[in-house]
Amino acid sequence: MKDLIKPKLDSYNVNIQINFPKNTRTNWNRLWKLDKKLIGTKEYMGFAWFWDHEIKYYMRESTAKDKKYIHDSFILNKVPFIKYKNGGYFKTNKTAEKIVDNYFEKKGLNYKYEQK
């Protein structure tokens, strides 16, 4: 497998903390819906889920910065993207698994993807 192409780190060096109440009328919900529409684009912010069932257990504890980095790596490495009306998701393949494994390994977390 060829080397992975990695996004530039300077594209997401801003950290924010958002504390909104959880209900469907909050700004958080609006922000999440907007970000869901941005999945598959460079404008994705790191809030919405963009992965399929295969890697969800590895991604659920990730931060917005983690999600943004992995999302952009998926785009650069041409991981298959499935688009639908209000968003989309990336289809897990060997390249996606390698990206997720490498990222979390570098963070010191051992989330090795194991195909069952």
Span 43-66, pLDDT tens digits: 998 889 898 888 888 787 888 888
Angle between helices 94-106 and 64-76 (to 10 degrees): 140
The Cα–Cα gap between 100 and 69 comes to 10
For the cut 60, the answer to whether the pLDDT of residue 115 exceeds it is: no
76 has pLDDT over 50: yes
79-103 pLDDT, tens digit each? 999 888 777 889 999 999 999 988 8
For 6-16, what is each residue's pLDDT tens digit?
Answer: 766 555 555 66
CA 100 vs CA 31, 39, 61: distances in Å: 25, 17, 13
Amino acid (one-letter) located at 56: K
Phi, psi dihedral angles at 21 (to 5 degrees): -65, 150
**Stated pTM of the model:** 0.77
- For residue 51, give both structure tokens: 């992965």
